[in-house]
Structure 1
Amino acid sequence: MLDDFLVRAALAGVGLAVAAGPIGCFVVWRRMAYFGDATAHAAILGVALSFAFEASIFVGVLGVAIAMALAVSSLAGRTFQMDTLLGVAAHGALAVGLVAFALTARAGLDIEAYLFGEILAVSRSDLAVIWGGALAVLALLGWRWSALLTATLDRDLAAASGLDPKREQIILTLALAVLVAVAIKVVGALLITAMLIIPAAAARPFSRTPETMAVLATLIGAASALLGLWASFHFDTPTGPTIVSAALALFAISGGAIMIRGHDQH
């Protein structure tokens, strides 16, 4: 079955959704969209360093994503406001990464594969990395779920409960870095944040509990990946952007359903 590239691509898309769904909920709850952008854009620099040192792409991207996320977390509020620092980090990391990629990449290597993903070229070893990373993220979030929720809802309450909000932020940062490392092959550095935010935003109106929202976001993300693959195959469009477009369509349907329901109640 894994000899079929479409099957491998579908499994990769679902694997991404499994990890991106719960993390995306925290990104939405904490309003961390720009933080996700900064971490994802740094992935291009990680790719460049991987080529320079002939290391694994996954290891290079993971290392740079963790470094970027921790640096932004530690510097925010000290010298610059968070939004300013994140704006500089997000766009600066992308620019430096593109320059470094041009200097280090092998001749003929296409940067678009890392900017927008190359899910149709996913191999069996890529699948192992994607699913291994996704399950690691789920295990980490499952372990710290209650603490992360408490720190997200009220930092003072978390501190009064004996939790360290800063530590929970670092745990979420590490989970996000792992997601970026496994997602770059699927949707690319420019579209990773979209797959975090859009399914979670689509799930939010239908969720009464955080757990329900995480499950719905995962299902919407998986449906987006499968619908995007189908549309890309039939209409010959770029697969990564088509997957995000499918997620956007589901978000629009979600918003329309809420509007209709609200109108009916009035």
Structure 2
Amino acid sequence: MDDFLLRALAGGVGVALVAGPLGCFVVWRRMAYFGDTLSHAALLGIALGFVAGINLMLAVALVGLALAGVLVLMQRQRKLATDTLLGLLSHTTLSLGLIAVALLQTVRVDLMSYLFGDILAVSGGDLAWIWGGGAVVLALLAWLWRPLLAMTVNEDLARVEGVPVLATQLGFMMLMAATIALAMKVVGVLLITALLIIPAACARRFARTPEIMAGLAAAIGALSVCGGLGASFRADLPAGPAVVVAAAALFLLSQLFPRGGTR
């Protein structure tokens, strides 16, 4: 097998192992639209990364963190519904990112590779970021696991029991932003939400505990990467979208089995 395929497989599996457990909370807390908002903002981070001359993954993560903070502050005003705020921030940041990329005069930006991923171009440095950053994200998620579960079941009860709701919410948003930055090279900023949601939705049908669902979601995501890369190699398909289609195919296949997992 060629080296670039091995790097692509390693990068894709690394992202899947992180996106699966994190995606479980996205599914449980019905935060898919928030994931879309963060992924759209990633394009603005890419442009700012080029301007500032810093690592693009780091720039995307920083913009995601800033957006999460803005969203939390705006939610506390209670003047607009959350879905309205997300729609406002999502389309505004995406448009600002497109304008910023268009204004870059000294840098040629391959916009399609950032929007839809270029997993076959994953380098050794990218792998270091994906696996190193992924390990940090998973460690922090394990630390926040119980508070997040308590908030997911009943946020008011979790607050009464002493869970720092605002800090936990911000921490989860930070992990989302970091994961989107890590996945940018694999499936692109427009498709990462699918890799967060679809494996988790598929695993939900079979898992009886939250922990089992997280493990199954990671495994299904990794299997989707393998299937998508295989289809891309054999049929000359775009690799990032092929990974998402493979995940969707596994989800449809899972619907043929009787439901036995968590709700």
Q: Deviations over 1:187-222 (max 9, x none)?
A: 111001000000000110111110011001000000
Is the contact between residue 12 and residue 186 of structure 2 (CA under 8 Å) also seen in structure 1? yes
152-161 or 174-183, which moves further after superposition? 152-161
Q: Distance in 2 between matches of 1:6 and 1:105?
A: 33
Cα 1:105–1:214 shift into 2, 3 Å: farther
Q: Deviations over 1:7-65 (max 9, x none)?
A: 00000011001110111000001100010111111110000001111111112111101
TM-score, normalisation: structure 1: 0.94
Residues paired across the two proteins, number: 259
Is the contact between residue 52 and residue 105 of structure 1 (CA under 8 Å) also seen in structure 2? no
How many angstroms does 1:165 deviate by?
1.3
| 1:125-164 to 2 correspondences below 5 Å | 125-164=125-164
Task: Give the match's secondary structure for 1:256.
Answer: coil
Q: Note the residue ranges of structure 2 that are not aligned, 5 or more in a row.
A: none
Alignment of 1:82 with 2:82, yes or no, is yes
Task: Give the match's secondary structure for 2:189.
Answer: coil
Q: Deviations over 1:216-243 (max 9, x none)?
A: 1000000001100000111101110000
Alignment of 1:20 with 2:12, yes or no, is no
| 1:1-266 to 2 correspondences below 5 Å | 4-76=3-75, 78=77, 79-104=79-104, 106-258=106-258
Identity of aligned residues (%): 51
Task: Give the match's secondary structure for 2:69.
Answer: helix
How many angstroms does 1:143 deviate by?
1.1
Q: Deviations over 1:146-205 (max 9, x none)?
A: 111111111122112211111111110111011011111111110010000000001101
Q: Distance in 1 between matches of 2:254 and 2:191?
A: 21
Is the contact between residue 114 and residue 188 of structure 1 (CA under 8 Å) also seen in structure 2? yes
Q: Deviations over 1:119-170 (max 9, x none)?
A: 1000000000001111111000111211111111111221122111111111
Q: Deviations over 1:69-118 (max 9, x none)?
A: 22112212522100111111112211111111111264543100100011
Q: Note the residue ranges of structure 1 that are not aligned, 5 or more in a row.
A: 262-266
**AA partner of residue 16 (structure 1):** V
Q: Distance in 1 between matches of 2:175 and 2:124?
A: 23
Task: Give the match's secondary structure for 2:200.
Answer: helix
Q: Deviations over 1:232-256 (max 9, x none)?
A: 1111011100000000000000112
Q: Distance in 1 between matches of 2:164 and 2:105?
A: 42
Is the contact between residue 21 and residue 196 of structure 1 (CA under 8 Å) also seen in structure 2? yes
Q: Distance in 1 between matches of 2:46 and 2:231?
A: 29
